[in-house]
A and B are shown apart, each in its own frame.
Chain A
Amino acid sequence: MLRSSGALAATSAVLAACSSTKPSVARIGESPTTVKLEDLAVTDVVLLRTAMSMETMASAMLSDSGVTALASKDTASVIAAFAADHTSHLEDLRVLISARNGEAYSDTNAKLMQAYGQTALDLVASGKLPADTLALTLAVETLIAGTYQYFVSLTVQPALRADLVRIGARSSRRAAVTAQLINGGTGGFAPANDKDGVALVATLPGAFGSLSAVQVQLGPVNDTGTRATVLMDTPSLNSLIY
């Protein structure tokens, strides 16, 4: 009887502990209450709104005065055309959102701008290196292409996946053109190193589109002889525009 009662009491205690909603550790004074996060779904409209925020961010970064002031005469017109392309994609995305009864989003992606966009612009401005304008352009175009490619895995409607890839392919083309402006000719197609062993910019860095973070070195050379590396990630659950 005692054994059975003990087992019963232990089982009850375990179940009671699992079901308790109160903190198990005693506290003195007021404790902050936790607010349950809203249960948000990643819908096709959310992806399209996020794509708009990314296109707006790309356009803003490529049109930034720190970038346009540093760009050479030859590259300034190309970068400006790329910025205009991103603005024109907003209309394509707006049509796709309207068709799904969604609401367009006209602002930049504030979280990603804060995470790496503004840092990149500040580094370009402080470095005052014209070459950084093309490096930044290549990184931004690669990021946008990767974003659309990633969104394919989250999109429900097959037709919309094709629409996203069509827009993303435009950024891929711009990335290839920018890479050729940095390291031109057929010699720049394949990944290679210079005579000092430093990796050169490759127009075709891999057979399949990459979804890893885009890395770009920007800004002035620091005391140790290196430059800051900015990592640009595609949007994730905390930077989607719901």
Chain B
Amino acid sequence: MPYVDTHQVESPDMSMTTRRRLIASLLTGGAIVAAAPLFAGRASAAEAGGPPHRDAADNDALNASLERESRMVATYRKAIGGLTENDLIAMTLILDHHVAYAQALTGYLAVDVKTPGSAPLASPAGSLASVARQLAALEDQTATIHTDNLATIKGIDAAMLLASIVTVEARHSAALELVAGASPIAAVGN
């Protein structure tokens, strides 16, 4: 059997190193093409100039909202003292809502939270109608404070949190107005 010697022929202008570089370049190019949309997405999001999710400049306004909610909690704790049955359940439900608002704001602020005051805003007393009337007014004021803060807040997450609070506090106020004896149309605020 004849011995066959094989030789790999390499032309001087196309070395193995060059071919490897070419293939590597093609693969690198392919990877860049594949990853381009990811970079494009990030670039366009940054260029869009949309509102930030969080802004440290919002902390003062959020602490002010927290202060108000903390004092609403203290007010409701004082108000439910003389209530019974359904009236007690209803007012405790609203108290729990305000506790949830204070906790949500505290959680959002995290290390930037300032210890809120805990003095009641009022001492609602008397008949259920009288208590409800006073609490309805406080709910209105609280919703107004949050809404005014909303006008200054840049971070979208904090804005959404306050909006979801105001939506329900408006319900608190109208429901309490009705319990206080207002007509349906007057309870809406007309």
Q: Residue on A with the closest CB to B153?
A: A158
The count of residues in chain A whose C-beta lies closer than 8 Å to any C-beta of chain B is: 51
B87 within 8 A of A: yes
Among the 9-residue stretches A59-67, A166-174, A234-242, the one with 4 or more Cβ atoms under 8 Å from chain B is A166-174
Query: Are A177 and B170 CB-contacts (below 8 A) given A153-B156, A208-B165?
Result: no
A85: interface (CB < 8 Å): yes
Question: Are A203 and B175 closer than 8 Å at their CB atoms?
Answer: yes
User: Mostly helix, strand, loop or mixed at chain A's interface?
Assistant: helix
Instruction: From the candidates B86, B97, B162, B187, name the one contacting A177 in the complex (CB within 8 A).
Output: B187
**Interface 9-residue window, one of A49-57, A182-190, A221-229:** A182-190
Q: Write the chain B residue with the least CB distance to A19.
A: B33
Q: Does any Cβ of A come within 8 Å of B119's Cβ?
A: no
Asked if B109 is an interface residue, CB under 8 A from chain A, the answer is no
State A184–B181 Cα separation when bound (angstroms): 12
Interface pair B189/A158, CB less than 8 Å apart? no
Q: Is A213 an interface residue (CB 8 A)?
A: no
A177 to B8 CA separation, bound complex (whole angstroms): 90
Residue contact A161 to B159, C-beta cutoff 8 Å = yes
| Contacts A161-B150, A161-B151, A204-B171 given; does A173 touch B163 at CB 8 Å | no
Tell whether, in the assembled complex, residue A158 and residue B175 are in contact, meaning their CB atoms are under 8 Å apart.
no
Which residues does A use to contact B, with CB under 8 Å? Answer: 1, 4, 7-8, 11-12, 14-15, 18, 77-78, 81-82, 85, 145-146, 148-149, 152-153, 156, 158-159, 161-162, 165-166, 168-170, 172-177, 179-181, 184-187, 189-190, 203-204, 206-209
Measured CB to CB, the residues of B under 8 A from A are 8, 19, 22-23, 26-27, 29-30, 33, 50-51, 86-87, 89-91, 93-94, 96-97, 100-101, 104, 128, 143, 147-148, 150-154, 156, 159-160, 162-168, 170-175, 178-179, 184-185, 187-190
